[in-house]
Structure 1
Amino acid sequence: MGRIIAVANQKGGVGKTTTTINLSAYLAELGQKVLTIDIDPQGNTTSGLGLDKNTIENTVYELILGQCDINDCMQNSIMDGLKVIASNVDLSAAEIELIGISEKEYIMKKAVDKVKDDFDYILIDCPPSLNMLTVNAMTTADTVLVPIQCEYYALEGLSQLIRTINLVKNRLNSDLEIEGVVFTMYDARTNLSLQVVENVKANLKQAIYKTIIPRNIRLAEAPSHGLPINLYDAKSAGAESYRLLAEEVIHRGEEDDEWR
């Protein structure tokens, strides 16, 4: 049975989509069967994995409205072993269209339950807000992976997200856990990045991944070419970091004493 991981943070610009794209690609490269679901109406994960979000007929939007089956939505990506359920701007209307629908918090879960045994990992890229789409991701997921940027207000946004995760856990998905926190956009030249990492570690009673994602120009360039970093520049510092993160995700739980 596949592990279902929602990648979430209500703050934009923290490396959430970059993490979803590159973690998915490296999990596939390491031999895992991966399904990536883009539930952000911006559709950046879709295009970052080499798909044209504007020409795909069956997207998350059609899936949520019951207009297609989940198997009809799956697209092959540019990586072997990695399938994608795409998103585009149509999805921004979904929340309004779901008004009055019973059990609307579980629409994604019911769809994903049909295929979760076919994959080792299912990653869900959430929008940068705590809306019904994010709630659907959290009712579907086993765990939430939280990328946080190494910046001054990182901890403030994180505590709000953790409250939301706990609320979903208490009301809608009792099995939901926090997968871990991933630091992104780390700049070794600044004291601030180091202070943020130390501050979060000191204040947060959550699992924190050892791998820290650096601020890296090649990582920033890759999506404009519709490529994950392992296909764009496999020798870059960003590529090496996401490869290590993928290995950490796979081996999570094997070294409990070193975790945190």
Structure 2
Amino acid sequence: MTRTQRSESTDPTPEIVAVFGQRAGVGATTTAVNLAMGLAAAGRSVLLLDLDPEGGASRTMGVAGHERGGTERVLRERAVRRDMIAATKIPQLYLAPAGPELAALDTDPGTDEDSLTRLCQALSTLPDLSLDFDHVILDCPPSLDILTGNALTAAHRILLPLAADVPTLDTLPRLLQQVNAWRAGRRQPLYGFYLLIGLRTATLNSRNLITQVRLEHGRMALSTEIPFDSRLSKAETPTQPLLMSALTREISQAYLNLTAEWLMLGERGDRPDGGWRPHARAERLERHRARLAQGIENWRLDPLSRLYDPEQAMRHQDTEALGVLFEAAAPRQRFPLDWRPGRAMWLMLTLILLVGALAVWLQPWRLDEQRRLELAARLIGSERQWDAGSRLLARADERAYRELLLAARLLETNRARLIACAERTASSGSAECLVVLPSMEVAP
């Protein structure tokens, strides 16, 4: 991988994002993995650091911690080196996996005067790598320990997946105070603390809690809400990100919304103060969503990609073939859809149609036999339509294609026979006209 183009955001590069859940089961690891994949689909270069000793992000990405040493080496050596990170199946997404010794760092922080700055020191060495990252995503363990403290201290932005229940909301102010205490006096700037609301049940009480969160914390609460997915809760360990395996599911679409909203954090809006008008914001989000979905689709259609899906590529080719056939069969549009002719134009068109109809009706002798045949061919369909349709039919149903060829041969043979018979009848006065049937001469 070569150095990628810097992002358009005015935020520092790379942007360091800590994803932290107050407790297990709120979807912090799922959020970190799918946000990282979404940013990669947008063309960004992303490094995902698995700081959770459970290694959920590493297993989801299919990278074992013992293969590369893991993030414990990043913390112990206070540096990020090439042999500490691994490439994933997703283009431009790299992972520093969690190793078996990561849990020991929490109980044995070392003799440092300040053990909360190890990760910050390590990430400061990223410019020395041959890889150039736009984003660094930190997947934190669900506890306020040394590992989480390092991540929250090193982050430029903090993303907190939040369950809409009373215990979580009651402990939120204390968590914010703890983060402020950890970051007090640090040089690393904090550009935002964001709440990602998870909607487990669509009850009136849960909606009231969400409304309360949005009123109390304002812009800290992202507009995206992550729905509850029972299939995800039953799975022991996801084998791949949701954006890779189940893009059409509601929860996957929510993570697309999250990534699109995250991309807008560093963008200036259309208002003078930098904010967004609702209509302009919705259009911008939709453009980001379409770009992300197209990026994921391109990975599945590219034979050189490790995410190449032959069935998806075949369906895409069939869709393109149908599009060519429809374009060939559809009438050409002569005027824009919003064009409105005036009264004079209507009178001129009517006059032209009357003159044309009168000319055809009064002078049929001008159309000889060959011209009548050419006119019939135009009404039936052009050669391009026939070629497109026959190629599609040959690929879909070989038997139907052979029958179509048989019918075409019969038409051509009988046409020649009938023309010859008509000439004999005109000369002799009577003649017996025979046509070829499928069982007589022509074989498929």
**What is the TM-score when the length of structure 2 is the normalising length?**
0.54
* 1:257 maps to 2:268: no
* 1:2 maps to 2:20: no
Residue 23 (structure 1) aligns with: 35
Deviation per CA, 1:181-227: give whole Å up to 9, x if none: 10124433x22321221111122255211111101235446773420
What RMSD, in angstroms, separates the aligned Cα atoms of the two structures?
2.4
Residue 71 (structure 2) aligns with: 60
Give the whole-Å Cα distance in 2 for the aligned partners of 1:247 and 1:24: 12
Identity %: 25
Residue 70 (structure 1) aligns with: 81
Residue 200 (structure 1) aligns with: 213
Which deviates more, 139-148 or 218-227?
Answer: 218-227
Letter in 2 for 1:74: I
Letter in 2 for 1:39: L
Which deviates more, 92-101 or 227-236?
Answer: 92-101
From 123, 141, 145, the equivalent of 2:137 is 123
Partner of 2:138, secondary structure, is strand
From 244, 249, 255, the equivalent of 1:231 is 244
Partner of 1:84, secondary structure, is strand
Deviation per CA, 1:40-89: give whole Å up to 9, x if none: 11111111122234x42410112212297432211112211110111144
Per the alignment, do residues 158 and 206 of structure 1 end up closer, same or farther by CA in structure 2, a change over 3 Å counting?
A: farther
How far 1:101 moved relative to its partner? 2.1
Give the whole-Å Cα distance in 2 for the aligned partners of 1:13 and 1:224: 12
Partner of 1:160, secondary structure, is helix
Structure 1 segments (4+ residues) deviating >6 Å? none
| Larger RCO: 1 or 2 (CA < 8 Å, sep 6+) | 1
Residue 90 (structure 1) aligns with: 101
Residue 50 (structure 1) aligns with: 62
Equivalent residues of 1:150, 1:192 under 8 A apart: no
Residues 48-197 of structure 1: pairs in structure 2 closer than 5 A: 48-53=60-65, 55-66=66-77, 69-115=80-126, 118-173=132-187, 175-188=189-202, 190-197=203-210
Equivalent residues of 1:149, 1:186 under 8 A apart: yes
Which deviates more, 70-79 or 32-41?
Answer: 70-79
Partner of 1:139, secondary structure, is helix
Equivalent residues of 1:9, 1:158 under 8 A apart: no
Give the whole-Å Cα distance in 2 for the aligned partners of 1:89 and 1:152: 35
Equivalent residues of 1:5, 1:123 under 8 A apart: yes
Letter in 1 for 2:153: T
Equivalent residues of 1:35, 1:121 under 8 A apart: yes
Aligned residue-pair number:
258
Letter in 1 for 2:121: K
Give the whole-Å Cα distance in 2 for the aligned partners of 1:219 and 1:32: 27
Which deviates more, 249-258 or 207-216?
Answer: 249-258
Whichever structure has more helix as a proportion of its residues is 2
Give the whole-Å Cα distance in 2 for the aligned partners of 1:221 and 1:88: 25
Give the whole-Å Cα distance in 2 for the aligned partners of 1:145 and 1:216: 20
Provide structure 1 residue ranges, at least 5 long, that are not aligned to the other structure. none
Whichever structure has more strand as a proportion of its residues is 1
Equivalent residues of 2:46, 2:136 under 8 A apart: yes
How far 1:108 moved relative to its partner? 0.9
Give the whole-Å Cα distance in 2 for the aligned partners of 1:67 and 1:197: 40
Give the whole-Å Cα distance in 2 for the aligned partners of 1:238 and 1:26: 13
Partner of 1:231, secondary structure, is helix
Partner of 1:212, secondary structure, is strand
How far 1:94 moved relative to its partner? 0.7
Give the whole-Å Cα distance in 2 for the aligned partners of 1:164 and 1:80: 36
Letter in 2 for 1:91: L
Per the alignment, do residues 177 and 51 of structure 1 end up closer, same or farther by CA in structure 2, a change over 3 Å counting?
A: same
Equivalent residues of 2:79, 2:123 under 8 A apart: no
Residue 241 (structure 1) aligns with: 254
Give the whole-Å Cα distance in 2 for the aligned partners of 1:225 and 1:174: 33
Equivalent residues of 1:48, 1:226 under 8 A apart: yes
How far 1:157 moved relative to its partner? 2.4
Per the alignment, do residues 221 and 28 of structure 1 end up closer, same or farther by CA in structure 2, a change over 3 Å counting?
A: farther
Give the whole-Å Cα distance in 1 for the aligned partners of 2:41 and 2:48: 14
Provide structure 2 residue ranges, at least 5 long, that are not aligned to the other structure. 1-12, 278-444
